[in-house]
Amino acid sequence: MIGQGIFQIVAQGGITMVVLAVFSVFSLAVIGERFYTFYKARQATEQVAEKGLQYVADGKFAEALRLCQQNDGSPIAKVLKAGLLAVIDRDDPVIVGTQFSRRLESCKGAMQRAISAEIARLERYLGSLATLGNVSPFVGLFGTVLGIIRAFESIAKSGSGGIGTVSAGIAEALVATAAGLFVAIPAVIAYNYFVGRVKLFTAAMDSAASELVDRLLDRAAHHGSERG
């Protein structure tokens, strides 16, 4: 009985409840898609930076590049891949002198662009979650106002203010408020969680890029001493 009453109230909510239902479905779809994306990124990232940078330190650039290509879902792998492609030469992977300096600058630029692209990819749809979290309570409040208006209209038509006349409109108003919060709360929680994850990935990408430059410089110095 209670479930049927709530269903009837929701059905009578009109455009407000329809809008909130659409918001809810979209919000859950975005949350699910982002969870999957971040899960894949975290899985692919495990040990990629450590192994890839160790390969670079050992001069195994082809192995490092292959590792990054095999873990293409990892933001760190994509950053390292961009840097390696910019600095590696088929005949002489790392050389000293002017050419290496130019390629190292290209490497830094490539990694910075890759970091920016990965941040944009990780932040995709997060603005929509933030918007839903901010707007949904107001949509629910709008439904609340409409429910109260309908309650007063019922009182005016019946000419009496009994509890039966008022309760339906008040119940509808409360359901609209609850529906707005039901959409907003998960959206805000998910948005804050994903923003935190993006910050962690950004810090990890910056750290990996900086360490790759250091490893390349060390390797170039070692390569130069061997040639000398």
* Segment 76-121, tens digit of pLDDT: 999 999 998 888 765 555 555 557 778 888 899 999 999 999 999 9
Residue 117's alpha-carbon distances to 41, 112, 122, 180, 205, in angstroms, are 14, 9, 9, 34, 11
CB atoms within 10 A of CB 28: 14
Instruction: Quote the pLDDT of residue 8.
Output: 58
Instruction: Quote the pLDDT of residue 14.
Output: 66
Instruction: Quote the pLDDT of residue 151.
Output: 75
DSSP per-residue letters across 53-109: HHHHHTT-HHHHHHHHHHTTT-HHHHHHHHHHHHH--SS-SS--SHHHHHHHHHHHH
Residues 34-88 pLDDT 10s = 999 998 888 778 778 888 888 888 888 888 989 998 888 889 999 999 998 888 7
> In the predicted model, what is the mean pLDDT of residues 186-203?
95
Instruction: Quote the pLDDT of residue 100.
Output: 75
Question: Of 44 and 2, which is predicted with more confidence?
Answer: 44
Residue 69's alpha-carbon distances to 20, 36, 56, 59, 203, in angstroms, are 42, 20, 15, 17, 21
- The residue ranges of every structural domain in the chain are 8-221
Average pLDDT over the chain, rounded to whole?
Answer: 82
Rounded Cα gap, residues 87 and 153, in angstroms: 74
Whether residue 2 has pLDDT greater than 50: no
Are 220 and 102 contacting, i.e. CB atoms less than 8 angstroms apart?
no
